[in-house]
Amino acid sequence: MPEVNAFVSALSQALDDSALMTGDRIPARSRSDASLSGRHLPIALVRPTSVEQVSATLRICNDHRVPVVTQGGMTGLAGGANAIEGSLVLSLERMSGVEEIDTAAGTMTLKAGTVLETAQKAAEDAGFLLPIDLGSRGSCQIGGNIATNAGGIRVIRHGVTRDNILGLEAVLADGTVISSLNRLRKNNTGYDLKQLFIGSEGTLGVITRAVIRLQPLPVGKATALVALPNYENAVQLLAKAQAGLVGLSAFEIMWQSYFGFASQGEGLKLFERSHPFAVIVEQSGTPDSAALENFLAMMFEEGLIEDALIAQSEKEARQFWAVREGAAYDRLPHLINFDVSISVGRLGEFADACEAAIREGYPDAHVAFFGHMGDSNLHIAVAVGASDPATLHAVDGIVYGIVRDFHGSISAEHGIGALKRDFLHYSRSPEELALMRAIKQTLDPRGILNPGKLLPPA
Ligand code: ZN
């Protein structure tokens, strides 16, 4: 393989030994993200320590037409960071650290490989809230959060990752460094280039640095777990909470199918009896739970809710969240995850249609719904007893077909990656796809950046 040899020798001239691994030195975990769907080992793993090394690596890959897959914490669920055959994997793990917190402006500048939780703690130490938060905070990296436009549990209050990024530094396929490290909240000077890279899943450039907008650190929090008789009441409760609860910071719904299974997994029996729906309501920046208690008492009198538990301690609040995080699902064999968006008023109807359609093909399936109701974002946990590619494709087809019928989105927050690519046209028009391809062609004319991900072949 003279071409591979020439490529590797060009890399080893540009990079020091600690930055380059080939052959048996490449760890198996370079294959796949948390979807465990990746099968291929790359031909080289590069762990740069500087933007100059990223630039040099990309230039060499572009010259040799070798595909590049950029990897962060590998916590994604869409296969977007899976290595592909004959590729070079670029891991940003050694480009990590908070560079500066501007306390006057409320901004943080940091390197892309910084673990989210590390950045959150640095913000807190400086008296700020970093408004991006998701379950995998302990291992996901900010560069990956930005490249996938991650969602999570703070979206209802602070928006998705896209809404919290002020500036970026990114490297293009040919090695050009685009430094767009804007720190100004208002900067209306032409195309917003950073938005090209946010949510591009490594297909348009490699993000190396970012400027995040911080928020004031809220002091005090109240958390409740609320039981409801039907979905319509949950819609009314959400509207009333948004209007009447200052600092509403989470509104997370669980269908009984999910709540029952996940509580049992935690060994918890939170309500006296079973209820069709449970919702976590969280209010931030409040000295105590009095306002939340009054609000829920009113909702009870109006007949909207059947029961409510107010967390009396941090430990109790953590129990509610442990059920929502549903560790029991990690132990469920052949679990298939979905992450869809449907207009909030129709989520209940969607879930019923979805469950009925899955059961038509798989009568004994485990089908459970939960999600960020305040953001119209539903997750679906499905287990049909198998997870081979044919079964996955069949179940995907059932769920995404109904998403299309409801004019929803096949991905609310996880992204498209490798696993949803063939269904992208269910949520985006031919004209939109053509424009996406034109942008890709301009930024990456040789198609080396994460090929085969996000965009289906033309
Ligand atoms: Zn989620």
pLDDT tens track, the chain, 458 positions: 668 899 999 999 999 999 999 999 999 999 999 998 999 999 999 999 999 999 999 999 999 999 999 999 999 999 999 999 999 999 999 999 999 999 999 999 999 999 999 999 999 999 999 999 998 999 999 999 999 999 988 899 999 999 999 999 999 999 999 999 999 988 989 999 999 999 999 999 999 999 999 999 999 999 999 999 999 999 999 999 999 999 999 999 999 999 999 999 999 999 999 999 999 999 999 999 999 999 999 999 999 999 999 999 999 999 999 999 999 998 999 999 999 999 999 999 999 999 999 999 999 999 999 999 999 999 999 999 999 989 999 999 999 999 999 999 999 999 999 999 999 999 999 999 999 999 999 999 999 999 999 999 88
Instruction: Determine the distance separating the centroid of ligand 1 and the alpha carbon of 167, expressed in angstroms.
Output: 25
Radius of gyration over every alpha carbon of the chain, rounded to an integer in angstroms: 23
The CATH architecture one would assign to domain 221-327 is 2-Layer Sandwich (3.30)
- Burial label, 1 (beta-carbon count in 10 A; 0-12, 13-18, 19+): exposed
The DSSP line for 125-177 is HTTEE-----TTTTT-BHHHHHHTT---TTHHHH--GGGGEEEEEEE-TTS-E
Instruction: Determine the distance separating the centroid of ligand 1 and the alpha carbon of 19, expressed in angstroms.
Output: 34
What SS3 class is residue 90?
strand
Instruction: Determine the distance separating the centroid of ligand 1 and the alpha carbon of 15, expressed in angstroms.
Output: 38
Closest CA to 114 of 214, 217, 205, 209: 209
Could you give the CA distance from residue 270 to residue 225 in angstroms, rounded to a whole number?
A: 9
Domain with CATH 3.30.70.2740 in the chain: 332-411
What SS3 class is residue 282?
strand
**Cross-strand partners of 281:** 224, 251
Closest CA to 147 of 191, 198, 181: 198
Instruction: Determine the distance separating the centroid of ligand 1 and the alpha carbon of 448, expressed in angstroms.
Output: 30
The DSSP line for 295-340 is HHHHHHHTTS-SEEEE-SSHHHHHHHHHHHHTGGGGGSTTEEEEEE
Cβ-based neighbours of 174, under 8 Å, separated by 6 or more = 58, 59, 62
Instruction: Determine the distance separating the centroid of ligand 1 and the alpha carbon of 377, expressed in angstroms.
Output: 7
The secondary element (H helix, E strand) that includes residue 241 is: helix 231-244
Instruction: Determine the distance separating the centroid of ligand 1 and the alpha carbon of 189, expressed in angstroms.
Output: 34
Could you give the CA distance from residue 97 to residue 105 in angstroms, rounded to a whole number?
A: 20
Domain with CATH 3.30.465.10 in the chain: 98-216
Residue 1: per-residue pLDDT: 61
Check if the beta carbon of residue 73 is closer than 8 Å to that of residue 31: no
Domain with CATH 3.30.70.2190 in the chain: 221-327
Q: What's at 192, amino acid-wise?
A: D
Instruction: Determine the distance separating the centroid of ligand 1 and the alpha carbon of 279, expressed in angstroms.
Output: 15
Q: How many CB atoms lie within 10 A of CB 367?
A: 22
What SS3 class is residue 27?
coil
Could you give the CA distance from residue 341 to residue 355 in angstroms, rounded to a whole number?
A: 16
Instruction: Determine the distance separating the centroid of ligand 1 and the alpha carbon of 294, expressed in angstroms.
Output: 29
Check if the beta carbon of residue 341 is closer than 8 Å to that of residue 377: yes
Instruction: Determine the distance separating the centroid of ligand 1 and the alpha carbon of 412, expressed in angstroms.
Output: 8
Could you give the CA distance from residue 169 to residue 11 in angstroms, rounded to a whole number?
A: 23
Instruction: Determine the distance separating the centroid of ligand 1 and the alpha carbon of 269, expressed in angstroms.
Output: 24
Instruction: Determine the distance separating the centroid of ligand 1 and the alpha carbon of 88, expressed in angstroms.
Output: 30
Tell me the pTM: 0.94
Instruction: Determine the distance separating the centroid of ligand 1 and the alpha carbon of 135, expressed in angstroms.
Output: 8
What is the third-level CATH fold of 98-216? Answer: 3.30.465
Instruction: Determine the distance separating the centroid of ligand 1 and the alpha carbon of 151, expressed in angstroms.
Output: 7
Closest CA to 195 of 230, 166, 157: 166
Instruction: Determine the distance separating the centroid of ligand 1 and the alpha carbon of 153, expressed in angstroms.
Output: 7
Residue 18: per-residue pLDDT: 95
Count of helices and strands (H, E) across the chain: 13, 18
Instruction: Determine the distance separating the centroid of ligand 1 and the alpha carbon of 325, expressed in angstroms.
Output: 9
Residue 358: per-residue pLDDT: 98
Q: Is the dihedral of CA 346, 349, 352, 353 positive or negative?
A: negative
Instruction: Determine the distance separating the centroid of ligand 1 and the alpha carbon of 152, expressed in angstroms.
Output: 5
Instruction: Determine the distance separating the centroid of ligand 1 and the alpha carbon of 386, expressed in angstroms.
Output: 23
Residue 457: per-residue pLDDT: 87
In what order do the strands lie in the sheet containing 177-180?
A: 98-102, 107-111, 206-213, 165-171, 177-180
Q: Give the CATH number of domain 332-411.
A: 3.30.70.2740
Place of tokens 């949950």: 234
**Cross-strand partners of 177:** 171
Residue 458: per-residue pLDDT: 81
Instruction: Determine the distance separating the centroid of ligand 1 and the alpha carbon of 44, expressed in angstroms.
Output: 32
Q: Can you read off the two tokens belonging to residue 287?
A: 């000295």
Residue 162 CA, chain-centre distance (Å), reads 11
- Looking at domain 2-91, which of 3.40.190.10, 3.30.870.10, 3.30.160.100, 3.30.43.10 is its CATH number? 3.30.43.10
End-to-end CA distance of the chain: 30
Q: 206-262 pLDDT, tens per residue?
A: 999 999 999 999 999 999 999 999 999 999 999 999 999 999 999 999 999 999 999
Instruction: Determine the distance separating the centroid of ligand 1 and the alpha carbon of 329, expressed in angstroms.
Output: 14
